Amino acid sequence: MLSLFLIVVNALNEGFLQTLKLFAVTLLGALPLGLIISFGSMSRFIPLRLLTRGVIWVIRGTPLMLQLIILYYVPGKVMGYSPWGTGEPGRFLAASIAFIINYACYFSEIYRGGIQGVPKGQQEAGMVLGMTGRQIFFKVTLLQMVKRIVPPMSNEIITLVKDTSLARIISFQEVIWAGQAFMKTSHGISGLLWPLFFAGVYYLIFNGVVTLLLGKLEKKLDYFK
Amino acid sequence: MALLEVREMEKRFGSTQVLGGISFSLEEGKALAVIGSSGSGKTTLLRCLNFLETPDRGLIKVKGETLFDADDKASYSEEAIRQKRLHFGLVFQNFNLFPQYTALENVALAGKLREKDKGKWKEIEERGRALLGQMGLSQRTGHYPHELSGGQQQRVAIARALALSPDVLCFDEPTSALDPELTNEVLRVIRSLAQQKTTMIIVTHEMAFARDVADEVIFMDEGAIVEQGPARQVIESPSQERTRQFLSRYQET
């Protein structure tokens, strides 16, 4: 009985490790890429601005699942061979790229709101006091922008934790994939339903931790309005 | 010699002429009030003096030194403008305090950023404390802006502008965002600055205050100076019909 439990937990742990990897890589890639895209969407050079906003429209306007399928399967069908290879590393790479691009577009809109939300008077007050552009950004604007983006960013990050499960559409072996496998047969065990519920517990606990951490950050920035 | 001299300053936004050839001078230790209806160019004038806008034509001189010459503006680097604008201080209508800093930090921040020797930061803070004391805020130095009333915030903003010892302190409708009760505490502070012979330009809608505190008054309309003279004379017996019209609206209310 105990050994059965350990086998399932081990399998789920392995799946959740993949979930975590995809989550971490997406966050690391999309947070800076989103900032770059937000600068593009605010550019005074109109063609760049229109192009960036067009890309954001397409990426946010279509399902992430569709983007995953297209990115993973279409190159292989068109070119005759898959650039992703056949194994799990290729699936992880493809999933990472699709997730980073998708989330960077969402993040960029949050950044844009944060940057444009800081009143222009703040910058002018810094200028009148003889501060450099760099000093104004780092000493005046940045923290106000961070404060503004933490709540919408928290929402997006919690959604990302759950969205990683979409990667199973290209057979990425994350935690739900691992749990569902026991409904049929996995590790010599068949017809188990509870691993699926147990997979949900992983998400609950992890999102609980994420919520606490982001809540702490929000509270830390609560000392000013 | 005049401390500040402005000559033929012009500014347009697109096809709208906002300032059409403004010239005036200001002696050291004098307070100048600028009055006029909204859209008459008063705020733009202050913003030009503080290099938040670049005039299309004209000249700005302080203590005989040419700070700005529209015919020569290509030669001004960002860095040069940054130094030149320190001749002026600006108090905004909406205070624009930095919300993440305490009152004292707001006052001391710019000074500290300019001083590489951290040993001197204590001096800068002491001076900030003294300025806040002068504003009647010695009990509020550790408060964040959102913990202060509008009048207190504006007084912090005045201390912040004074901290860098500008030659000319500019006020852009400093009490327009305040209710009458808080207006008075800010006007009291400006009045005491006038008594200490601080050179000031005050854009205001408080006519009685302009009459009592300012040495000179300029009345602007549609981007031009219509009338200019000793404060009491311009406000109590204006010589121009347009000035009379404008002032009569204040007497009715």
Map out the domains of chain A as residue ranges. Answer: 2-224
Q: Who among A121, A133, A139 is closest to B92 (CB)?
A: A121
pLDDT at residue B74 greater than cutoff 70: no
- Chain B residues within 8 A of A121 when measuring between CB atoms: 92, 94, 96
Token pair, residue A14, equals 């392995």
Q: Any CB–CB contact under 8 A between B92 and chain A?
A: yes
Query: Hey, which residues 172-191 in chain B have their CB within 8 Å of chain A?
Result: none
* CA–CA separation, B185 and B189 (whole Å): 7
For residue A131, the surrounding DSSP H or E stretch is none
pLDDT in tens, A54-98: 999 999 999 999 999 999 999 988 988 888 877 889 999 999 999
Task: Give the A window 63-102 contacts with B, CB below 8 Å.
Answer: none
- What's the ipTM? 0.92
How many helical (H) and strand (E) elements, i.e. helices and strands, does chain A have?
9, 2
Residues listed for chain A: 225
Share of chain B above pLDDT 90, in %: 82
A146 touching B, CB under 8 A? Answer: no
**pLDDT higher than 80, residue B170:** yes
Say which amino acid occupies B67: L
Q: Is the pLDDT of residue A1 over 80?
A: no
We find that the CATH architecture of domain A2-224 is Orthogonal Bundle (1.10)
When pLDDT is averaged across residues A178-191 and rounded to a whole number, the result is 86
- All residues of chain B having their beta carbon less than 8 Å from the beta carbon of residue A127 are 51-52, 85
Any chain A CB within 8 A of the CB of B90? yes
A contact test, residue of B47, B96, B147 with most A CBs within 10 A: B96
**Mutate: best of A118, A129, A147, partner B, most B CBs <10 A:** A129
Q: Give per-residue pLDDT as tens, B209-248.
A: 999 999 999 999 999 999 999 999 999 999 999 999 999 8
Nearest to A129 among B51, B99, B164 (CB): B164
Give CA–CA dist A72/A82, Å, rounded.
Answer: 8
B70 touches chain A (CB under 8 A): no
Output the pLDDT for position B226. Answer: 95
Gap from B102 CA to chain A (nearest CA, Å): 9
With b for 16 or more beta-carbon neighbours within 10 A and e for fewer, the A40-78 pattern comes to bbbeeeeeeeeebbebbeebeeeebeebbeebbeeeeee
